[in-house]
C-alpha cells in the first residue's frame, strides 16, 4: 500500500513544464473571442484526459446560439480563438434549454432548444467533428422546448430532461445516438411539473427530482423524487422530498450526487417562518428519503434579522457529506453580505452548527459562489466574486481552500482586475488535481480563465532506517521480532506495519502509535516480511527504507530449539537464551551460558542450533 495523494505534487511538476496557464491574477489566461454581452457559460472536464470543454451563448446571425471551446489540461485552446459555433439551427432572441456535458467516450454534448420550439443534442469529438452532424438529434419526440438538464451515463451515452412549463420529458441517448423512449412526467390534478434535476445512480439508472407547483409568480411548491431505467421503466416509487411551501416560482432547487448512487437536493425560500433559508434533502441509492423532516434541514438556524441563500454544494468523496456554502444578507436592507459554509450528513445532521464564516462583511457584496471537493477527500475550495466598493456590478474573483474539518488551508485572488463580468454557471470540479473557473470579460468580450486551482501539496514523509531482528521476550516467554526506525520530520497520526507470513500466506496490518519508533512483534516461529509506512490525515507515505536501501525487512524466527544436526560453518547471528542479540559472528569471547546460533551448514542449508558455553 503506497501513498494516496502525492500524485498532486508530481502532476504540478509536470504541468509547470508544459503549462500555458497565465499564473497572474492581473491578466489570466485567454480562451476565446466572444461578445461582451455573451453569457450562460457551462463547463465540463474529461476525467481521463483532463481536457475541459466550455460553452457560452451569444447573439449572432442565427440568434442566441451556442459556441464551444476545448482547452487542454495545460491550458491551451484547441479549437482556435473563436471556438466551434453551432450554426445549423435558428435560435430565438433568448436562450432556451441550454445545457452541456462531457461523455465517458471523451466527447462533448451540447443541448438546446431552437426557434421552432424543438430540443436538439449535438455531439462533438475532441478533434472538433460533429459526430451526429451539425443538426444533431431531435430529443423527446418533438416535445419539450424549455430548460434542459443533462447527465452523462456510464456507457458513453447520456440522460436528457426537458419540459414545456407543464410536463417533464426524460430520455436516454446511447453513445451511438440511439434514442431511448421518451417518458412524460405530468400531474393529473392540474399542477405543473417543472424545474427537474437528474443524477446518475447505480446500473445507469437515473433519479429525477422535480417541482410540482401551481401557476403564477407566487405559488405553492412541492419537490418529488422518482427513478427510471434507460428503457423508461420506473424503478422507484414517487417520493415526496419537500412538503408544500409557498414562495416565488423562480426559486428552484438544485441537486448534487452523493457518490453512492443517491444525492442531495437543496433550495432556498422564505416559506418557513417567512425568512429566507437554505433547506437540504437527501435520498439514497434506492430512492428513499433519508431525512425524516419533509421541510428539510436548514443550513442555519431561523434568523429573522438575516436572509440565507445563493447556495452551492459539493460532496466529500470520503464521508459523502454535503459541503454547502451560502450567502448571508441582512433582512432589512440586504446591504450586508457574508459567506458561510456548513456540512450536512445524509441523515440531516448539521455538523458545523451555525456554520463557519468564509468571508466577513466588509461593505461589499458576494456572488457566484462555487464549492468543489478535492479528489482525495482532503478538503475543498470555495470560489466567489467580490464586488468593488465603488460599483457593486464590478467584481474580482477570490478563492479559499479548507480541509474537511473546515480549517483554512490557503487563500488567493484569482482575478484582481475589477470590471463587470459574467461568471460561469458551474465549475467542472477537481480533475487530475486542478480546477478551472471561466468568465466573459464584459469590457473586451473575451473568455478568460483563472488557470488551475490546485490543492496544496501535502508533506507525506516516510520513516527512515527501518531495521528488525529476532528476539526472545523473556516476560512472555515468546519468540518474536523487534523493529526500529527513525521518525520522519513531521510526526504522523500513526504508522502502518505490514507483516506477511511466508508459511501461512497471511497478511496483516498492525497500527502503531505515531510517537513510537519501535515495535515488539510477538510473532512466534515463522518467516516474516515487514514493511512500514507513516499515515497522515490526508495521505500514507511510501514504505520506509532500511540502511541498505530496501523497502522491507525479512526475518526468520526459529525459536531456541535446535532445528538441525548439521554443523554450522558460517555463523550469521548469535542470540543469548534471554533473547539478547550478541554483536558477534564468532563464538570467541562469549561468556558462560546458553546461546542460539543461526547460519549456514556445510551442506549449504540455513539452520539454527543451541549451544552451551562453559568457562
Per-residue pLDDT, 173: 98
Give domain status of residue 130, yes or no: no
**Residue 173: all three cell numbers together:** 441517448
- Contact yes or no for 471/579 (Cβ under 8 A): yes
Read off φ and ψ for residue 10, nearest 5 degrees.
-65, -40
Q: What is the CATH number of the domain that holds 553?
A: 2.60.40.10
Query: Helix or strand or coil: residue 7?
Result: helix
Nearest alpha-carbon partner for 577 in 612, 526, 527: 612
584 lies in the same domain as 605: yes
492 lies in the same domain as 552: yes
Q: Does the pTM exceed 0.85?
A: no
596 lies in the same domain as 518: no
Which residues, given as ranges, of the chain have pLDDT below 70? 1-19, 449-459, 472-477, 538, 558-564, 577-579, 606
Nearest alpha-carbon partner for 28 in 401, 391, 380, 397: 397
Give domain status of residue 341, yes or no: no
Give domain status of residue 319, yes or no: no
Q: What is the mean pLDDT of the chain?
A: 88
549 lies in the same domain as 574: no
515 lies in the same domain as 595: no
478 lies in the same domain as 545: yes
468 lies in the same domain as 552: yes
Quick one: three-class SS letters along 136-198?
CEECHHHCCCCCCEEEECCCCCEEEEEECCCCEEEEEECCCCCECCCEEECCCCCCEEEEEEE
Q: What is the pLDDT of residues 184-228, one digit of tens each?
A: 999 988 899 999 999 999 999 999 999 999 988 889 999 999 999
- Contact yes or no for 593/613 (Cβ under 8 A): yes
Q: How far apart are CA 286 and CA 395, in angstroms?
A: 43
Query: Helix or strand or coil: residue 434?
Result: strand
CA of residue 315 relative to chain centroid, distance? 7
Cβ neighbours for 466, distance < 8 A, ≥ 6 positions apart: 483, 484, 485, 530, 532, 544, 545, 546, 553
Give domain status of residue 240, yes or no: no
- Contact yes or no for 307/365 (Cβ under 8 A): no
Give domain status of residue 98, yes or no: no
Quick one: three-class SS letters along 579-599?
CCEECCCCCCCCCCEEEEEEE
Read off φ and ψ for residue 42, nearest 5 degrees.
-130, 150
CA of residue 20 relative to chain centroid, distance? 25
Give domain status of residue 597, yes or no: yes
Per-residue pLDDT, 459: 66
Q: Locate the DSSP E strands across 404-463.
A: 408-419, 421-423, 438-441, 446-449
Per-residue pLDDT, 447: 77
Q: How far apart are CA 450 and CA 28, in angstroms?
A: 5
Q: Locate the DSSP E strands across 374-431.
A: 379-387, 395-403, 408-419, 421-423
Give domain status of residue 354, yes or no: no
Nearest alpha-carbon partner for 139 in 163, 175, 115: 163
Number of structural domains, the chain? 2
Give domain status of residue 72, yes or no: no
CA of residue 159 relative to chain centroid, distance? 22
β-bridge partners, 380: 373, 402
Per-residue pLDDT, 261: 97
Burial of 586 (0-12, 13-18, 19+ CB in 10 A): exposed
- Range(s) of the domain holding residue 495: 464-557
Nearest alpha-carbon partner for 41 in 71, 61, 15, 72: 71
Domain final position from 536, 557, 578: 557
550 lies in the same domain as 603: no
Q: What is the pLDDT of residues 22-39, one digit of tens each?
A: 878 888 888 999 988 898
Burial of 578 (0-12, 13-18, 19+ CB in 10 A): exposed
Amino acid at each position: 500500500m503506497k501513498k494516496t495523494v502525492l500524485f498532486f505534487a508530481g502532476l504540478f511538476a509536470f504541468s509547470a513544464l508544459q503549462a500555458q496557464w497565465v499564473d497572474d491574477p492581473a491578466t489570466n489566461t485567454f480562451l476565446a473571442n466572444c461578445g461582451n454581452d455573451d453569457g450562460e457559460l457551462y463547463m465540463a472536464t474529461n476525467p481521463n484526459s483532463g481536457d475541459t470543454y466550455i460553452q457560452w451563448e451569444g447573439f449572432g446571425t442565427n440568434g442566441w446560439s451556442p459556441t464551444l471551446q476545448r482547452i487542454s489540461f495545460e491550458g491551451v485552446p484547441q479549437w482556435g480563438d473563436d471556438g466551434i459555433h453551432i450554426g445549423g439551427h435558428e435560435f430565438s432572441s433568448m436562450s432556451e434549454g441550454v445545457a452541456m456535458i462531457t461523455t465517458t467516450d471523451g466527447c462533448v454534448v451540447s443541448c438546446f432548444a431552437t426557434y421552432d420550439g424543438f430540443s436538439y443534442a449535438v455531439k462533438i469529438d475532441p478533434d472538433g467533428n460533429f459526430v451526429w452532424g451539425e443538426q444533431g438529434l431531435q430529443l423527446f419526440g418533438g416535445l419539450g422546448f424549455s430548460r434542459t438538464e443533462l447527465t452523462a451515463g456510464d456507457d458513453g451515452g447520456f440522460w436528457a430532461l426537458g419540459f414545456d412549463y407543464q410536463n417533464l420529458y426524460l430520455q436516454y441517448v446511447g453513445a451511438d445516438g440511439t434514442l431511448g423512449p421518451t417518458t412524460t412526467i405530468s400531474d393529473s390534478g392540474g399542477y405543473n411539473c417543472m424545474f427537474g434535476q437528474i443524477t446518475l445512480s447505480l446500473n445507469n439508472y437515473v433519479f429525477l427530482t422535480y417541482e410540482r407547483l401551481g401557476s403564477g409568480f407566487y405559488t405553492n411548491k412541492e419537490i418529488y423524487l422518482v427513478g427510471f431505467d434507460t428503457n423508461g421503466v420506473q424503478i422507484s416509487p414517487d417520493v415526496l422530498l419537500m412538503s408544500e411551501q409557498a414562495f416565488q416560482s423562480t426559486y428552484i432547487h438544485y441537486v448534487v450526487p452523493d457518490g453512492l448512487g443517491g444525492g442531495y437536493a437543496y433550495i432556498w425560500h422564505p416559506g418557513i417562518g417567512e425568512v429566507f433559508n437554505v433547506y437540504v434533502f437527501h435520498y439514497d441509492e434506492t430512492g428513499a428519503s433519508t431525512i425524516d423532516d419533509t421541510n428539510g434541514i436548514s443550513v442555519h438556524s431561523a434568523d429573522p434579522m438575516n436572509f440565507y441563500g445563493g447556495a452551492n454544494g459539493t460532496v466529500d468523496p470520503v464521508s459523502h457529506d454535503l459541503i454547502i456554502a451560502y450567502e448571508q444578507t441582512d433582512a432589512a436592507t440586504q446591504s450586508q453580505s457574508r459567506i458561510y459554509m456548513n456540512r450536512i450528513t445524509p441523515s440531516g445532521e448539521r455538523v458545523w452548527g451555525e456554520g463557519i464564516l468564509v468571508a466577513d462583511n466588509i461593505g461589499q457584496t458576494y456572488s457566484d459562489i462555487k464549492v468543489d471537493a478535492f479528489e482525495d477527500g482532503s478538503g475543498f475550495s470555495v470560489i466567489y466574486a467580490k464586488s468593488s466598493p465603488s460599483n457593486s456590478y464590478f467584481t474580482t474573483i477570490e478563492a479559499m481552500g479548507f480541509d474537511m474539518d473546515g480549517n483554512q488551508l490557503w487563500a488567493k485572488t484569482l482575478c484582481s482586475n475589477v470590471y463587470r463580468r459574467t461568471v460561469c454557471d458551474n465549475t467542472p470540479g477537481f480533475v487530475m488535481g486542478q480546477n478551472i473557473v471561466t468568465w466573459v470579460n464584459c469590457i473586451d468580450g473575451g473568455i478568460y480563465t483563472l488557470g488551475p486551482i490546485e490543492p496544496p501539496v501535502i508533506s507525506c514523509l516516510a520513516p527512515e532506517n527501518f531495521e528488525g531482528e529476532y528476539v526472545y521476550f523473556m516476560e512472555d516467554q515468546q519468540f518474536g521480532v523487534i523493529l526500529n526506525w527513525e521518525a520522519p520530520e513531521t510526526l504522523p497520526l500513526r504508522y502502518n506495519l505490514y507483516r506477511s507470513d511466508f508459511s501461512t500466506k497471511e497478511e496483516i496490518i498492525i497500527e502503531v502509535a505515531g510517537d513510537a519508533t519501535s515495535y515488539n512483534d510477538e510473532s512466534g516461529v515463522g518467516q516474516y516480511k515487514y514493511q512500514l509506512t507513516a499515515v497522515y490525515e490526508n495521505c500514507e507515505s511510501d514504505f520506509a527504507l532500511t540502511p541498505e536501501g530496501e523497502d522491507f525487512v525479512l526475518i526468520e524466527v526459529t525459536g531456541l530449539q535446535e532445528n538441525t544436526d548439521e554443523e554450522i560453518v558460517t555463523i550469521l547471528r548469535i542470540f543469548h537464551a534471554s533473547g539478547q542479540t550478541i554483536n558477534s559472528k564468532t563464538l570467541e569471547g562469549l561468556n558462560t551460558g546458553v546461546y542460539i546460533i543461526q547460519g549456514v551448514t556445510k551442506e549449504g542449508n540455513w539452520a539454527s542450533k543451541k549451544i552451551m558455553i562453559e568457562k
